[in-house]
Amino acid sequence: DQQVKQNSPSLSVQEGRISILNCDYTNSMFDYFLWYKKYPAEGPTFLISISSIKDKNEDGRFTVFLNKSAKHLSLHIVPSQPGDSAVYFCAASRSNAGKSTFGDGTTLTVKP
């Protein structure tokens, strides 16, 4: 049972436009959601997170939206830059469980 899903394996956008990456989850016990960014031959790095008590968190060009009723979150990148090209992983955690469950990743390509 895959509890965190990223249904789009890839996304291509033009530089300067908005990138929207989506993530769905099934376990209503998750109380924190995180996005990680991964470049080739490197480990994932934390990008932004959101607590389940919020519906939006913004950090510069990156905004994460959480829709708990739909068990859906999305990452918006505005404006997109070529350096944003990477694999983006969505993850969900329960604060007392000591682990995160990761989605399959979405490869974002930002074209100059």
Partner 1 sequence: DTAVSQTPKYLVTQMGNDKSIKCEQNLGHDTMYWYKQDSKKFLKIMFSYNNKELIINETVPNRFSPKSPDKAHLNLHINSLELGDSAVYFCASSQAGGARGNEQFFGPGTRLTVL
Residues that bind partner 1 (CB under 8 A): 31-34, 36, 41-46, 49, 51, 87, 89, 93, 95, 98-102, 104-105
In DSSP terms, 56 is beta-bridged to: 65
- Distance of closest approach, residue 39 Cβ to partner 1, in angstroms: 10
- Distance of closest approach, residue 61 Cβ to partner 1, in angstroms: 18
| Phi/psi of residue 83, nearest 5 degrees | -70, -10
Closest to partner 1 by CB, 14 vs 95, is: 95
Closest to partner 1 by CB, 15 vs 31, is: 31
Query: How far, in Å, are 57, 90, 109 from residue 52 at the CA level?
Result: 11, 14, 29
Strands 10-14 and 106-111 turn out to be parallel
R_g (Cα) of the chain, nearest Å: 13
Closest to partner 1 by CB, 44 vs 63, is: 44
